[in-house]
Amino acid sequence: MKPKQERSVRWLLGLCCLWLFAALAGACQENTSEQTDDNRCEYEGTCKITYAYDDNNKWQTVRTCTLERDTTRLCGQCWDTQKNADGWPTFKTCLVCNLCKSDFECVADSDCGTARPFCQTGVCLACRSNGDCTNQDQSYCVENKCTQCRDDRDCSNANAPQCLSGICAGCSCPSDQKCRKDTNSGKLFCVQCLVNADCAAPTPKCDTETFTCKFSCEKDEECGTGERCENGACIECTSADDCLADPQKPRCVDGKCGCKDASDCSIALPFCATDSRCVQCNKDADCSAGFPRCLGGECQARTCTTDTQCVAVGYDKCLTLGQRRVCLGCLQDSDCPTDQRCDTSLLRCVQP
């Protein structure tokens, strides 16, 4: 082809290119009369146009438009223009005025529904910031969606301490471990225990620094009064000989002085209470008529205000004992007939 003819062809191709871009830009406009005097318009946006050439030297274009409000450039102004070795455009970005509303999901908030009420860059969103999330259970805006949490630090419920896909959920630790949240970082860790109840023999104590189960003790000083450390456990006794000091705890039961059942107890304290102590009674029916009330494992006299309220044989007087008035037989010999004396162990008058 001759140079003059080649220049003519190139001129025609350039003219067609400009016409095509104008057509594309025009297709993105709704009403050019809305443009203001300073060549700006109500709705503005950028159109990125990519040019591709086929085997017949014909080009095709791909237009991608994004709604923006760019007041720094004039309508139709182009930038980022790229050309190939022959000088033909391969890519350009231009500002287009009055973009077609149909190109976007929305232009204003009023175009959106209640589920996604906010318009941003042509798309309806559920939220733009935390302030847009009015539901107390979903108060954080994450990726334009209202969620319950952003990370584990937002989950304060001990039963649901882990943030999974925006929802506070139970910790995913193995069944034999507990979930612990670090108070400083908010991160979750699977640990052996949190409290003593999470541990069992032979390591019944939870170390709250390492959160591991360990023996109750390593030395006597770690045990209570009257206890000693033996094989990692605090014990009071190894046999009944170690339990002679307290008649309510006459036997050695699992390293502790106490009782297992009534057979361990004496005639004076015939019942084994739930706290492993030998006591006078467990219920009122265990007591005699003179001391009919069982309180704290001890049979006590009936309270009264007059003698008429005292009907048990031998306990027919309303006497002051300490700060109470109770039904008794006597407190001293003068309370008894002249031929009897007061048995102060029974608080009852008996024959001498």
The pLDDT of residue 98 is above 70: no
User: Mean pLDDT throughout 103-129?
Assistant: 82
Give the per-residue pLDDT at 10: 45
The pLDDT of residue 29 is above 60: no
The pLDDT confidence band at residue 223, using thresholds 50, 70 and 90, is confident
**CA dihedral (261, 265, 270, 273) positive or negative:** negative
Name the H helices within the chain. Answer: 3-27
| pLDDT higher at 45 or 128 | 128
The pLDDT confidence band at residue 62, using thresholds 50, 70 and 90, is low
Beta bridge partners of 234: 229
Q: How far apart are CA 253 and CA 27, in angstroms?
A: 94
Give the per-residue pLDDT at 75: 67
Angle at 24 between CA 21 and CA 28, to 5 degrees: 135
| Statement: the pTM of the whole predicted model exceeds 0.85 | no
How would DSSP label each residue in 248-285? T--EEETTEEE-SSGGGS-SSS-EE-TTS-EES-SSGG
Give the per-residue pLDDT at 293: 84
8 A C-beta contact, residue 167 and residue 148: yes
Kindly provide the residue ranges of all beta strands, DSSP E only, lying in 17-130, ordered along the sequence: 44-53, 59-68, 78-83, 89-97, 118-120, 123-125
Give the per-residue pLDDT at 12: 43
Q: Tokens for 255?
A: 């390293």
DSSP 110: G
The pLDDT of residue 109 is above 50: yes
Q: How far apart are CA 303 and CA 315, in angstroms?
A: 12
Judged by average pLDDT, the poorest of 24-28, 92-96, 153-157, 265-269 is 24-28
Q: What amino acid is encoded at 237 in this protein? A: C
Residue spans per domain, the chain = 3-103, 171-214, 220-279, 300-350
Q: How far apart are CA 139 and CA 132, in angstroms?
A: 8
Give the per-residue pLDDT at 7: 42
The pLDDT confidence band at residue 30, using thresholds 50, 70 and 90, is very low
The pLDDT of residue 17 is above 70: no
